[in-house]
Amino acid sequence: MTAIQIVRLMNREDRKVAVAVARELPAIARAVEAIVQRIENGGRLIYVGAGSSGRIAALDASECPPTFGTPPELVQAQIAGGKKAMTQAVEGAEDSRGDAVRDLKRIRLTGADAVVGIAASGTTPYVLAALAFAKRRKVLTIAITSNRRSPLARAARIAIAPEVGPEVIAGSTRLKAGTAQKLVLNMLSTATMVRLGHLYDNLMIDVARTNEKLRDREKRILMEASRRDVSAVEHALRQSKHNLRLALVMLKRNISAEQAKKRLAAARGHLRRALGE
C-alpha cells in the first residue's frame, strides 16, 4: 500500500471508535456518579493497567492536578512493571498477579476508593488480580475493555466495553482500542471533576499556575468568568493570593477577600452557592 492508502485505511477504522464509545455512555455516566460518591466520602480514583493501557491511564491521571487543582494522590495510575514500564516494555510484568496485589497494598487501598481496571483483551492477569483484590476490600470496581464477554468485564461492578473491532495491525491494541480507552478516561476524569465542582462553566477555575502560560491563563479565566477588566482581575488576584475561586467571588459579588472567604466557608467550598447562583 502507498502511504496515503495506509493512512486512509487507518482513518476509516478510527471513525468507528467514537461510535463504539457512544454506545457505552450510560455505563460511563453510572461510573462517573459512583466515582464522585466515593471521592466525596474521602476516596480516591485508582487506574490499573499494563502496557499501553497503563501508559494511557498514567497520562490521564497526571493531567488532573494541573487541570483541576487536585492533589496527585486523588487520581493515580498503577502500571504493571512500575515506572520503568512507562517508557519501555517490562517482560512478564502484565502476568504478575502478585505485583498487582503488592501495588495496591502499597498505596493502602481502602473501601472508600474506586479502582478502574483497563485491558483491551479483558484477560490481563495483573489487572484481573487488582480487581479481585479490590473487590475483597469492598472497593468500587470498574472495567474498561474492548471485550464485553471477557473475565474483566464480568468481574467489575460496572463494565465499560466499547467494541471497536479488529485492529489495522492484528492484535495491536494501542490503536483503536487505545484510542477508545483514552476517550473513556477523558470522560471519567473530566465529568467527575465537573460534578465535584472543579470547573466554573467550562473554565478551569482550579488551574495550577505552574508556568507563565498558566499564570496568563488565570487572568483570562477570571476576565471571562467575571466580565471584569484586567486591572480589576489583577487586583483581585493579588488580594486573594492567586486563589481563583476566592478572586471570582470577590469580583462577582464586589466584596473583599475576607468577605469572600466567609462566603466560601459557609458554602463549604461550593463556588456556585458562594456566588448565590
Phi, psi of 92 (to 5 degrees): 80, -5
63 assigned to active site:
yes
- Take residue 70 and report the three cell numbers written for it: 487536585
Catalytic pick among 24, 33, 73, 94: 94
Cα–Cα distance between 147 and 47 in angstroms, integer?
18
Q: For residue 98, what is its C-alpha cell?
A: 502478585
- Residue among 13, 24, 33, 63 flagged as catalytic: 63
Backbone angles phi, psi at 171, to 5 degrees: 85, -5
Q: Give catalytic status of residue 13 as yes or no.
A: no
Residue 221 to residue 227: CA distance in whole angstroms: 10
* Nearest alpha carbon to residue 120 among 157, 190, 175, 81: 175
Quote the strand ranges of 61-216, DSSP E: 75-79, 114-118, 140-144, 158-160
**Cell numbers linked to 209:** 499556575
Question: What residue type is 135 in one-letter code?
Answer: K
Instruction: Give the residue from 137, 134, 170 showing the smallest Cα distance to 152.
Output: 134
CA distance 80 to 97: 10
114-118 and 158-160 beta bridge pairing: unpaired
Q: Hey, which residues does 118 pair with through a beta bridge?
A: 49, 144
Catalytically annotated residues: 63, 94
